[in-house]
Each structure stands twice: as structure tokens, then as C-alpha cells.
Amino acid sequence: MLVVANWKMNPLSVEEAKQLFSTISQKEEVVICPPCPFLYLGKNFVLGGQNCSNKKEGSLTGEVSAFMLNSIGCKYVIVGHSERRVIMKETDDIINIKALMAIDAKLTPIICVGEINKSNKGEEIERQLKIALNGINKDVVVAYEPIFAIGTGNPCSIDVANERRELIKNILKEKGLEKSLVLYGGSVNSENVSFYTKQAGFDGVLVGKASLDANEFNKIIENALCSRKS
């Protein structure tokens, strides 16, 4: 079971970040992905980067190398998040290079995939994931994040989520990566998390907005871990 917090571009001050870190449950199954300036505050947590460059090093102002993330203690890095795909126009091929770069830097990539339209039958996810996994021979983490559910308060239905999980698992099996974890992300909260980790069979969750509320996030952690035991 894995519970990943993606703080995105929040909070705005060191004081707020310290407070958030100080009130979140420290568990080996919990990964915190704060903005880069706050990574040093989480030395007692399992840490992940929110993004990495598709280059190892060089004249790339503003970019962060996967090797830099590794050097400060990160174990994971998110690649292919829908906000990077949509806002930053990152392509499937770029995401594949980032995933390979992460593995080269001894990080586990959390590869995000998801469709924009509810009526999509999985073709978009299949394309995204197969390209992202090209050349990868080590287990990864895949996060299914339906774009229509992210930040909307309208999470994906259990039936659809389960179909997508099975699709992702089948693709991973085809690639010989069947031990990879598959997470759900998209309007996750303490009330619905067990639906995804228990009923839909996901190996954990990727939490955005709710991870900025320590009380709510701690409940998510507790409910996710309890669902694994039940």
C-alpha cells in the first residue's frame, strides 16, 4: 500500500510547510512530494519530487535533475502528471525519457496516466502507458488520474476505476512489470479512499488538495492502511 501526497505549488511559506510536515503521520507507506524548496524540511519522511527534467544536467535554467532529487534523499518522482501534460505540453515521449532518467538516478517514477473524457474506453490510457514504459525493465508506480475527476470533487466511479486498473495491470504484465503498484488519484478523500483501495483493488492513492489538510490526510492514510488489513 502506498499513499502519496502531491502538494503541487503549495504552501507559500517555510513556516506553513514546517507546520504541515509536523502534523502528518510518518509511515513507510506514505510519500510526501512537496515543492522543491521544501524538500529539505521532510528529512524524516519518504520523499518524492513533483517532476524532473528529461536531461541529466546542463544549461537548463529552472530545471531539476532526477540525480539532484536522489542526492537529497528522494526515493520517488512524479512524471506525466496531467498538469504537466496539459499546461506544459509534455508529450508521451518526453514522459518516457523522464521515467527512464528517474530509474537511471535510482528513483522510482510515479507515472501518471488518465483520460480527459469520461466516455473514453481506455485507448488514451493504453497509449500513454505503453509509450511511458518503453525501454523500462524495472517495476514502477502507475497512478491512474482521470482528468475529469482531478480537483473537481467528483471522483471516478468505482466501476470505471476498476476497469482502468485492470487495463493498467494487464499492460504492466505484458511488459513483465507485474509487481508494479497501481494507484488511484482524483478527488480522493477520507470517505472514498477505501472504495478505491478495497473495492476497486488499487494499491494506494495519489492525493492532491486533501493532502494539504493534515487532519484529513491523516484520516486518508489511516483508512487506506486499514483497508489493506481488512
* Residues that are catalytic: 81, 145
Length of the chain: 230
- Burial classification of residue 26, based on how many CB atoms lie within 10 Å of its CB (0-12 exposed, 13-18 middle, 19 or more buried): exposed
**Angstrom distances, CA of residue 111 to CA of 20, 85, 104, 172:** 25, 12, 15, 12
Sign of the four-CA dihedral 35, 39, 44, 47? positive
Cis omega (within 30 of 0) for bond into 11: yes
